[in-house]
């Protein structure tokens, strides 16, 4: 009788335990942190947003020119309007 019960139990299909597919966590979009820049008024009459310091550069004619450095739009230096 035990052998018959054992044969019956062993003949039953064994359900496969499937682990749930691990979903990659969705990337959380965080608000862009301000980089500490400042708006300046360029000689061209446009406003520019720059991250670097304002420097005074010598001109070819012997004068001085104020420039903002490391500006948005891949501009290294932008002459400022006084």
Determine the pLDDT at residue 50. 93
Residue 50, classed as helix, strand or coil, is strand
Determine the pLDDT at residue 35. 63
The rounded average pLDDT for each run of 10 residues, N- to C-terminus, in the chain (82 residues) is 72 73 68 76 94 91 92 90 81
Determine the pLDDT at residue 12. 75
User: Residue 3 has which token pair?
Assistant: 């052998």
CA distance 23 to 9: 36
pTM of the model: 0.54
Determine the pLDDT at residue 26. 66
Q: Cβ neighbours of residue 54 under 8 Å, at least 6 residues apart?
A: 40, 66, 67, 68, 69, 80
Residue-range domain boundaries for the chain: 35-82
């Amino acid at each position: 009788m035990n052998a018959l019960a054992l044969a019956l139990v062993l003949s039953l299909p064994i359900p496969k335990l499937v682990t749930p597919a691990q979903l990659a966590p969705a990337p959380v979009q965080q608000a862009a942190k301000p980089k500490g820049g400042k708006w300046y008024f360029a000689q061209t009459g446009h406003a520019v947003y720059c991250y670097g310091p304002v420097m005074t550069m010598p001109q070819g004619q012997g004068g001085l020119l104020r420039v903002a450095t490391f500006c948005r739009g891949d501009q290294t230096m932008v002459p400022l309007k006084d």
